[in-house]
Structure 1
Amino acid sequence: MVGGGGDGEEAALEFTPTWIVAAVCSVIVLLSLVAERCLHYLGKTLKKKDQKPLFEALLKVKEELMLLGFISLLLTVFQGIIQRTCIPSGWTNHMLPCQRLDEKASEVGATKEHFVAAEVLGRIGRRLLSEGGAAAEHCQKKGKVPLLSLEAIHQLHIFIFVLAITHVIFSVTTMILGGAKIHQCKQWEDKIQKEAPGNGPKKVTHLHQLEFIRKRFKGIGKDSIILSWLHSFGKQFYGSVSKSDYTTMRLGFIMTHCPGNPKFDFHRYMVRVLEADFRKVVGISWYLWIFVVIFLLLNVNGWHAYFWIAFLPLLLLLAIGTKLEHIIAQLAQDVAEKHTAIEGDLVVKPSDDHFWFRRPRIVLYLIHFILFQNAFEIAFFFWILTTYGFNSCIMGQVHFIVPRLVIGVIIQLLCSYSTLPLYAIVTQMGTCYKKEIFNEHVQQGVLGWAQKVKMKGLKGAASIAESTNNADSAGPSVNIEMAKAGEDNEDVGNTRVIGQ
């Protein structure tokens, strides 16, 4: 029939009442405008509070939303082409997330269930045919089936949207919970700032009397190395960073990168670096989309791929936590192997040699993947729950579902309260500092100065500009005599960068 009143066809837009079209469009536009205005005012608030890293993270979220919109647009525009792409029906019998109803009925051997399954399949086929319209009929005439049905395309829309939103929510939650844990370091920093530097004679202290060495150094030898790794593995679950750890690593950073400013606010610098890293974590990189495709490919009936994949981020998270704790132990090891007693305060030497492949940045990429994969697991669960129901075959069996959810909660809590604070502090123990050591005004001033020098063609200008713009590509440490000017003073001329 031409109109939309029959049971076999749905009404096209030309036969839909105008008030329905106008009402639906109004609601969609209204919700979109409200969301856009909320993001806009949130951005203005962050700019007003001089939270540039968080503002850039918000821009990253907007980029992801735009990407989602573009993906949705492509799926909508090409849905006709996808449906007119016909494939042999035999190709659809392999690598299915669920066993077909007719196959299940034949295995059970129940004749009655077989007829019920056939009837259900017939209804589904008629419904998909009516939704697909001429495209599905086009493939049926050839004895084939469409590459993807309209219902599957619609559900794919929803899943991609749920995945991106869940990833953003999980990332924000991790930063909030981790920030609450890092706030404890602020109390230690304030206490250090209030203490006046000692002007008297320096006290000689045996290493075994120092809390940092006593808790972290496990001796010398093969057995002590194994004991150190085991201790590092367990330490990430309780008191991952103690006051003595923070104080020692803070002093090691200051004495290496800015010895002229013992009152350098290490906690403030650490938080600025963490905020800058957050805008990278909140996005979905291209390699993460590749993992999405791989995960969707492996979702085959009987493989229980999502159950086994759930252990991957957990194992990575435990490996990262153990490695970061072991780096602290290595800092203590380096001092204990060279000295039996020290004069004054204990100073450790930051070095990239302690990190995997001498690149502290690898830890950030792994945390990014862990948060995304955990969000994927949770998003997939809720998408299946709301779309097909808890008892759906694609959901899996209960004894496979519960461990996945428990693992997801463990990953979220462990990453927030242990791994993220460890990452924020320990990754500053690399050879190079990051540009967030300067405030925004000083960064712009130094970069502008380097650009002017470069334009004048002076030797070494290119390397100076590069080291200022990207701390990871900088040479060894840079001595900042007046780093405090990089935090509290907007006068760029008061900060002198010496040496390379």
Structure 2
Amino acid sequence: MAGGGGEGEAEASALEFTPTWIVAVVCSLIVLISLAAERCLHYLGKTLKGKNQKALFEALLKVKEELMLLGFISLLLTVFQGALQRTCIPPGWTSYMLPCQNAGGHAKMSPSEAHDMVAGALGLTHRRLLAENGPRAQHCQKKGEVPLLSLEALHQLHIFIFILAIAHVIFSVLTMLLGSARIRQWKHWEDEIQKDVTGNGPRKVTHVHQFEFIREHFKGIGRDSTVLSWLHSFVKQFYGSVTKSDYTTMRLGFIMTHCRGNPKFDFHRYMVRALEADFKKVVGISWYLWIFVVVFMLLNVNGWHTYFWISFIPLLLLLAVGTKLEHVITQLAHEVAEKHSAIEGDLVVNPSDEHFWFGRPRIVLYLIHFILFQNAFEIAFFFWILTTYGFNSCIMDHVPFIVPRLVVGAIIQLVCSYSTLPLYAIVTQMGTFFKKEIFDEHVQQGLVGWAQKAKKRKALKNNGASGAAGSTNGSSHPSARLELMRRAVALEEGSSGGD
């Protein structure tokens, strides 16, 4: 009888027996909220385009793509919820890897007891579960089994995925805003340097250890003390991560390597443009990040305190990244001090990819991307549990494990915003190549056009289509034009050589 009552309640709550005014009101509210969100994003995009913030506008488009992906994931979960309800599993399978320990432990249970245990874990009674799932729940009940996933759990999974993506975007934007505010504080250094730039005057010879940049990175550190050098780099990321001498020296090294003929090059503006372009990568949620979500949810087993331990992963990675970036600056100083005892004129460092992990500065960006996502995952999971099950839920874990997680999350956000991101912005410019953001937008578009033409000509030449005529056409171009084309091809791939 209980089953018949549940089936009748399910039929009565179906859409065909729901008053039309209720359907119309609910649909109207959903449409209004969706249109309001779409208009807000639209006007934000127009504002960014009006202020010529192309990189941030493209990051906004990336956010829209993520929202579309979320919508598609939600649609798939809705479409396949019937199949999930009809997929039945033995009751014993539900006794393993539970996020909350049941009172009966892992003792063998009857099918009906196992079904009631699953419903109770979701805060539902047996009658309510039948009322919501109707005949689909009875489909497994008749077999002595339980559904793979309840309808209530499926709805909560919808909410969690949405909260996770929104939290990641919010935390990424917050980090970018705070980090950019920190980087803008360096603008007065750039203005001072621009005023002090002089012509080819007399160049005095200075002992290398008289330069402030060298003194800062050799202070209290022996020349051959690798351990002290790394410890100095670790500590420095927490105070004065980038000093005026660091900025001045790295700026000059970049200019002398990549644009020697333009001593008044606005390095600060280029650095900010490059960071805004990288923000498009950070704000997105890549496929491998979704894999991490699945793995972490799998390991959320009662008694393992998984989310407490994994909260230290982004913290350790963040400290490692900050230490490495500081150590790159120290390596630049040591490299100059080892090669010269005295220098004529200004101190010039030599940018190189060899200072970075595996010779790829881009790896640092991927690590920052993972750190921000992992931190957002921790905070999003906490608030999802808090709003869905309450603070006293067993899945929330004990208070001694909750408080450190929140504290670590706050530390990661602050350190990443005010130390690591500004460090990344300037130190990754010390690689072998520069980024296409070194040019203004209209110049970039022109060079990309040159690159496309150059690739077509190269393809024709390799295929032997032009023959002798191709050789004649190639020799007719001025050497400067060929050099521009070569650089344009490299720029289209993301960077260009400095010679």
TM-score (structure 2 length as normaliser): 0.89
- Which residue pairs with 1:442 in the alignment? 443
Amino acid at match of 2:373: F
Whether 1:467 aligns to 2:468 is no
Point out where structure 2 has 5 or more consecutive residues left out of the alignment: 109-115, 462-473, 475-481
Deviating more after overlay: 336-345 vs 407-416: 336-345
Post-superposition Cα deviations, 1:420-462, rounded to whole Å, max 9, x if no partner, equal 0000000000000001011110011111123223334467899
Deviation of residue 124 (structure 1)? 2.2
Deviation of residue 120 (structure 1)? 5.8
Once the two structures are superposed, the pairs formed by residues 195-210 of structure 1 within 5 Å of their partners are: 195-210=196-211
Deviation of residue 346 (structure 1)? 0.4
- Which residue pairs with 1:377 in the alignment? 378
Q: Residues of 1 paired with 2:154 and 2:296: CA distance?
A: 18
Once the two structures are superposed, the pairs formed by residues 212-227 of structure 1 within 5 Å of their partners are: 212-217=213-218, 222=224, 224-227=225-228
Once the two structures are superposed, the pairs formed by residues 68-467 of structure 1 within 5 Å of their partners are: 68-103=70-105, 124-217=125-218, 222=224, 224-457=225-458, 464-467=487-490
- Which residue pairs with 2:478 in the alignment? none
Point out where structure 1 has 5 or more consecutive residues left out of the alignment: 107-115, 479-500
Deviation of residue 193 (structure 1)? 1.1
Percent sequence identity is 75
TM-score (structure 1 length as normaliser): 0.89
Amino acid at match of 1:467: A
Distance 1:5 1:86, change over 3 A: closer
Amino acid at match of 1:289: W
Q: Residues of 1 paired with 2:7 and 2:87: CA distance?
A: 29
Q: Residues of 1 paired with 2:155 and 2:124: CA distance?
A: 19
1:316 touches 1:366 (CA, 8 Å); kept in 2?
Answer: yes
2:164 touches 2:381 (CA, 8 Å); kept in 1?
Answer: yes
Whether 1:57 aligns to 2:59 is yes
1:434 touches 1:471 (CA, 8 Å); kept in 2?
Answer: yes
Distance 1:105 1:241, change over 3 A: same
1:5 touches 1:11 (CA, 8 Å); kept in 2?
Answer: no
Q: Residues of 2 paired with 1:394 and 1:203: CA distance?
A: 68
Amino acid at match of 2:255: I
Amino acid at match of 1:79: Q
In the alignment of these two chains, the number of paired residues is 466
Distance 1:51 1:286, change over 3 A: same
- Which residue pairs with 2:498 in the alignment? 477
2:214 touches 2:333 (CA, 8 Å); kept in 1?
Answer: yes
Deviation of residue 200 (structure 1)? 2.5
Distance 1:105 1:42, change over 3 A: same
- Which residue pairs with 2:16 in the alignment? 14
Q: Residues of 2 paired with 1:351 and 1:48: CA distance?
A: 37
Post-superposition Cα deviations, 1:380-412, rounded to whole Å, max 9, x if no partner, equal 000000000000000000000000000000000
Q: Residues of 2 paired with 1:28 and 1:13: CA distance?
A: 17
Distance 1:382 1:30, change over 3 A: same
Post-superposition Cα deviations, 1:88-107, rounded to whole Å, max 9, x if no partner, equal 1111110000012444999x
Return the match for 1:48 from 41, 47, 50.
Answer: 50
Partner SS for 1:349? coil
Amino acid at match of 1:207: V
Q: Residues of 2 paired with 1:453 and 1:88: CA distance?
A: 64
Distance 1:8 1:82, change over 3 A: closer
Post-superposition Cα deviations, 1:144-192, rounded to whole Å, max 9, x if no partner, equal 1111000000000000000000000000000010011101111100111
Q: Residues of 2 paired with 1:134 and 1:34: CA distance?
A: 38
Q: Alignment RMSD, CA only?
A: 2.4
Deviation of residue 47 (structure 1)? 1.1
Q: Residues of 1 paired with 2:207 and 2:12: CA distance?
A: 84
